[in-house]
Structure 1
Amino acid sequence: MDNQKAVIVGISGCSSSGKTTLARLLRDIFPHTFILHEDDFYKPEEQLPIKEGLADWDCPEAISIPDMENALSHIRSTGTFPVSLLLTTTTTSTSSTSSSTTTTNTNPTSKISGRPSLSHRHNHGCHLTLTTASSSIIPPPSSDQKCSPSYPLIQPGFPLKQPISSKEDKNTIGQCPVSSAQIDAAKSKVSAWLAPNQPGALIFSRPLKVCLLDGFLLYSPDHLPTIMPLIDIKLFLLVSRAKATQRREARDGYVTLEGFWTDPPGYVDKIVWPNYAAEHAWLFENANVEDETKLDKEKMQRYGIEAQTGKGLDIDFGETLHWAVETIMHELERIVLGQQGGESESK
């Protein structure tokens, strides 16, 4: 670890595979944890590639990779967000009689490459609730709050001059697919791990933060060779084409700095799924991303990518949460304490 101040946990997979849901759950379970979204590095809409006559949000060319690299390097070395990601105050208002959304950005240009400060496209119009240890419900943040107290992007105690405003983090993302009992069980497991003289207590005895990075494309040796080494723990969520399509089409759209984006008919079939399949075929022996039995174990091990295997593609999300918690604890012990321990579950 040397002087590294934060461990970055990547959560990647196809659009609508549950990345942001998992990140929010993990943030509620682990201490000293905050979320960074790959969506916060989208280029302006007018710079997006065009595919099949449609704007392509789901390709590496849509992301400002140098900006993301700079942000991750800063987080690892300081344990804080770059100042350039702390500048935007965004308010969103939606008319009750219209499907249009107006976005007001009081500081539309960041210090990085002159691009808009935060995400151009964000989930919109769904609802996620999380439970505390006392089983009370944490309400979703309101759209006009700069940073909801119930959903702090940064936990108390982080040396930040001002809160972060990421609409991706404040927007809601659907009913929580994990029961209160499953969340409480995960919290109890981590609490025991954090008890005095236990591995978790030793890990966080130093000023260490955990950054949860969620994104549709994080693991690509061809397109992201400078990003992958900056991600310390790499989780890969599997999903079937049918389930990803069902979830994506259930969304009513995405807030953008330019207005409001709604997927045109056939967008998943023309853009989202083909891009996901093309960019992740390298991880599968037969290049078939819907055959989880053919995940290339040698490549997964070489690049340190973890996935649930032997359970099919559309896994119960409670099991996914349990697997992610176990994997993160195991990997933190390996990275910070140098303990190899046993293999993580469903590796």
Structure 2
Amino acid sequence: MKTRVILVGVGGATCSGKTTLAKHLKRIIPNSVIIHQDDFAPPQELVPIHPKYGVQDWDWPDGAIDWKRMIASLKDVKRTGRIADDHYSHDHLNEQKDVPIPEEVRARWTQTFEELAERTCEKREEEQIIWGLVDGFLLYWHPEVLEQLDIRFFLRVPERVLKQRRHERHGYHTAEGSLWRDPPNYWEQIVYPAYIEAHKHLFEGGDVENGRVTREDVTIINALEESMGNIVDHCCQALVKYIDVESSKVQ
């Protein structure tokens, strides 16, 4: 059976709900896998020290991700339709707040994607679609990562809400399993400035809070204005529409 891989970007700031959304989509969509950008962070001893504040900087775009390894992995998933056996994810170590969606939404879209998979297989000579759900806080910074993604969602949440959510978390686990806790003023001095730097090119005037998006291929979701059920609903509609458009091109 032939395999077609579609990579779906789920980007946004830390604590914007991107991983929660990706996991809901994975439960709904058959033949889907999640690729967490955090899994491509460098070893803790290689995380750079901030030149001004003297603490490890896990957020600045240049040093927060092993870009070479991530890009190679995305290309490999697109080629093979699977995550390499030696890939290790530490996402399960992090606390995950339960944000449920209505069962009706989950069941309706599960049925829709199952039927879509059957139709696609029939129309395109035994072709199977694999969905790669790529979630991360720096997804749209590196041009080669952007190039690999077929569909791009961005969850936008006001800074005051992001800050509160971040402060409510107990920390983040590293690949080595140790727990990272934010030093004092880490949000104000490092996290949010790095977020603005990595995403200002996406918005008019560099206004990540209120600016209009400058790229037509990035769909902005104002996540605080929607329930998670509605967000899942909107994303699933967009994914089905993408398949319909691609199928019409082949015909």
TM-score range, shorter chain: 0.7 to 0.9
Question: Structure 1 unaligned runs (5+)?
Answer: 86-117, 119-165, 341-347
Larger RCO: Structure 1 or Structure 2 (Cα < 8 Å, ≥ 6 residues apart)?
Answer: 2
| Whole-angstrom distance in 2 between the partners of 1:318 and 1:312 | 11
- Regions of 4+ moved over 6 Å: none
Q: Deviations over 1:173-229 (max 9, x none)?
A: 1122x34xx24324313414543xxx4432355222111110001112xxx121111
| Matched letter for residue 215 of structure 2 | M
| Matched letter for residue 239 of structure 2 | I
Distance 1:313 1:175, change over 3 A: closer
Q: Deviations over 1:294-339 (max 9, x none)?
A: 323xx321xx11113xx6855332221221111122123323x136
Cα offset for 1:252? 0.6
| Whole-angstrom distance in 2 between the partners of 1:18 and 1:56 | 22
Distance 1:57 1:202, change over 3 A: same
| Matched letter for residue 227 of structure 1 | V
Aligned to 2:143: 225
Aligned to 1:259: 178
Aligned to 1:235: 153
For the residue of structure 2 that corresponds to 1:207, the secondary structure is: strand
TM-score by length of 1: 0.64
Would you say the 8 A contact 2:26–2:33 is kept in 1?
yes
- Name whichever structure is richer in helix by fraction: 2
Would you say the 8 A contact 2:28–2:113 is kept in 1?
no
Aligned to 2:37: 38
| Whole-angstrom distance in 2 between the partners of 1:260 and 1:189 | 36
For the residue of structure 1 that corresponds to 2:73, the secondary structure is: helix
Report the RMSD for the aligned CA atoms in angstroms: 2.2
For the residue of structure 1 that corresponds to 2:152, the secondary structure is: strand
| Whole-angstrom distance in 1 between the partners of 2:237 and 2:195 | 26
Aligned to 2:212: 295
Q: Determine what percentage of the aligned residue pairs are the same residue.
A: 30
Would you say the 8 A contact 1:37–1:215 is kept in 2?
yes
| Matched letter for residue 276 of structure 1 | Y
Cα offset for 1:59? 2.2
The within-5 A match list for 1:204-215 is 206-215=127-136
Would you say the 8 A contact 2:117–2:129 is kept in 1?
no
Would you say the 8 A contact 2:155–2:223 is kept in 1?
no
Aligned to 2:111: 191
The within-5 A match list for 1:1-347 is 5-51=4-50, 52-60=53-61, 61-85=63-87, 118=88, 166-169=89-92, 171-176=94-99, 178-179=100-101, 182-192=102-112, 194-195=114-115, 199-203=116-120, 206-220=127-141, 224-256=142-174, 257=176, 259-291=178-210, 294-296=211-213, 299-301=214-216, 304-308=217-221, 313-335=224-246, 337-338=247-248
For the residue of structure 1 that corresponds to 2:233, the secondary structure is: helix
| Matched letter for residue 45 of structure 2 | E
| Matched letter for residue 209 of structure 1 | I
Cα offset for 1:271? 1.3
Distance 1:81 1:232, change over 3 A: same
Would you say the 8 A contact 1:27–1:33 is kept in 2?
yes
TM-score by length of 2: 0.87
| Whole-angstrom distance in 2 between the partners of 1:264 and 1:58 | 13
| Whole-angstrom distance in 2 between the partners of 1:312 and 1:255 | 25
